[in-house]
Chain A
């Protein structure tokens, strides 16, 4: 064995010992290349999701039906953009720039949460997104607070505090509508019908079909399996739906003896179609992001040039 190889093995052992003992991995620590790659992919995907998610919700800002709901929605979307910022910053600690992450997104090399490829068609969709999509996201993110990479873990702690507000605010929109007129109830049920399955799909494929998960769990990037997280979400959410008179659109749903739920089959064909770019809004969401970025190019440029002028000026 060469000296180099011995050193590498030593580093790997130290890394694994840290993981074993729940010591966070920090940006300057040695880490296996695959660990770094996995994190770069996962954290940037997470960041993009926060940012792309601003679009379906933004679709209702100008039509929010009260000043209060408009303020809550605007502040919520602003939070999501803020989450995007924390996460880009966490991902940049791995040695890739935000500009590069955005290019990968635009080139189709990076993904974002597929759930945002569905349209927001009535006001209750804003409730359903907060309640279900943020609800599903929290379930996942609470477990990620214990993820092994320090900057990612700390970003999750900050983010989780805000996400629980979003979930409650979304649910509040739903129950207000269920207490309201027939039209409002119809909209609320319609929104649940359309968002229920995409929310369940947010947890990803069944554990048996999730090739990357095993390694991620071993490295403690991921702390709980897809199916386990999905189960938690379902058990928490179904009683909330029933409480306000909403019907979960799953004819095969059964209550187990231990109080947990058994759900019907998820349409995995739809899941993979949307992931592979053929959901209702994939092109629209990406195009919107590309256009905003391109339209803003001259603004970023003038800001940079102006800064340069100021710096040069200072040198005289």
Chain B
């Protein structure tokens, strides 16, 4: 696979799989306003994934956005593994969301300068949405970190779980490096610096400790996923997989 296509897919797959996890939370939120806000974020992310898939299909002159979402196998998805993880509570859901929103915010802020016209336009459009997402998840981190003792403890557990997947976001794939050389992709070590500043700022207000960096052990960008990914895809792709001839 071409590096450029792979780079596009890393972006889109992060959004699609994260939106899947958010969308399954629908009707489970602590209160109705939060349920709707959550769905909003899921919708933005599906829109983001869809526009990248559509662009890829048109650049290649074959297939559709749905083919990318519904007709690829696990090892053909290049999302980071953090997006796949399940979540025992709202703290886990929101800590993951904060890390991903933070990553998206800084990633897209830099991607605006990409030489690739589609990506720079996509980044410009996404920043508006992602800014809102990041503000919302940051506020929740603070409310949970600096609220009740129970919430604080739940935050510590959630951070511990998600933190071991944090470094993967900034670990470049071959596609990342190649696209960086072509002035298409941002420099992930720069993105990491910006992300860590934000984590430190928000955790300070939330009265939470920033853990030591945990070396990356995951390879979602190479198509090697956690055990949860197969379950996500078998659910998401169930109908097109079972009725391949059908148009919906």
Tell me, rounded to whole Å, the shortest Cβ–Cβ distance linking B68 to chain A: 9
Judged by a CB distance under 8 angstroms, whether B172 is at the interface is: no
Interface segment among A7-15, A63-71, A161-169, A204-212: the answer is A63-71
Chain B residues near A184 (CB, 8 Å)? 243, 246, 248
Judged by a CB distance under 8 angstroms, whether A108 is at the interface is: no
Most buried by A among B43, B154, B236, B248: B248
Cα(A146)–Cα(B239), bound, Å: 43
Cα(A295)–Cα(B28), bound, Å: 9
Known contacts A66-B240, A123-B248, A306-B147; 16 additional CB pairs below 8 A are: A51-B32, A55-B27, A61-B24, A63-B238, A65-B240, A66-B70, A67-B66, A78-B36, A85-B36, A295-B28, A295-B89, A296-B34, A297-B30, A299-B144, A305-B147, A306-B143
Q: Taking beta carbons and an 8 Å cutoff, which residues of A are in contact with B?
A: 51, 54-55, 58, 61-63, 65-71, 74-75, 77-78, 81-82, 84-85, 88, 123, 173, 176-177, 180-181, 183-184, 288, 292-293, 295-303, 305-306, 309
Q: Chain B interface residue count: which class?
A: 35 or more
**Contact yes or no, B43 A300, CB < 8 A:** no
Of B65, B89, B147, which contacts A301 at CB under 8 A?
A: B147
**Contact yes or no, A77 B246, CB < 8 A:** no
Tell me, rounded to whole Å, the shortest Cβ–Cβ distance linking B12 to chain A: 11
Chain B residues near A300 (CB, 8 Å)? 30-31
Judged by a CB distance under 8 angstroms, whether B62 is at the interface is: no
Judged by a CB distance under 8 angstroms, whether B29 is at the interface is: yes
Tell me, rounded to whole Å, the shortest Cβ–Cβ distance linking B242 to chain A: 9
Cα(A301)–Cα(B143), bound, Å: 10
Chain A residues near B248 (CB, 8 Å)? 65-66, 69, 123, 173, 176-177, 180, 184
Judged by a CB distance under 8 angstroms, whether B90 is at the interface is: yes
User: In the complex, what residue of chain A is closest to B242 when comparing beta carbons?
Assistant: A183
If the complex has contacts A74-B23, A180-B247, A302-B148, are A292 and B154 also in contact, measured as CB distance less than 8 A?
Answer: no
**Contact yes or no, A67 B235, CB < 8 A:** no
Chain A residues near B50 (CB, 8 Å)? 67, 71
If the complex has contacts A81-B36, A305-B148, are A295 and B30 also in contact, measured as CB distance less than 8 A?
Answer: yes
Of A62, A77, A305, A306, which contacts B20 at CB under 8 A?
A: A62
Q: Taking beta carbons and an 8 Å cutoff, which residues of B are in contact with A?
A: 20, 23-24, 26-36, 39-40, 42-43, 46-47, 49-50, 53, 65-66, 69-70, 89-90, 142-144, 146-148, 150-151, 154, 235-236, 238-240, 243, 245-248
**Contact yes or no, B43 A71, CB < 8 A:** yes
User: In the complex, what residue of chain B is closest to A291 when comparing beta carbons?
Assistant: B28
Of A66, A68, A85, A299, which contacts B151 at CB under 8 A?
A: A299
Tell me, rounded to whole Å, the shortest Cβ–Cβ distance linking B72 to chain A: 13
Q: Which 5 A-B pairs have the closest CB atoms?
A: A296-B30, A302-B147, A302-B151, A65-B239, A299-B30
Cα(A29)–Cα(B203), bound, Å: 50
**Contact yes or no, A62 B24, CB < 8 A:** yes
CB-defined A-B contacts under 8 Å, sample of 20:
A51-B32, A62-B20, A63-B235, A65-B240, A67-B49, A67-B65, A69-B248, A71-B50, A82-B36, A84-B32, A88-B32, A123-B248, A176-B248, A288-B27, A295-B28, A296-B31, A296-B90, A301-B148, A301-B151, A302-B143
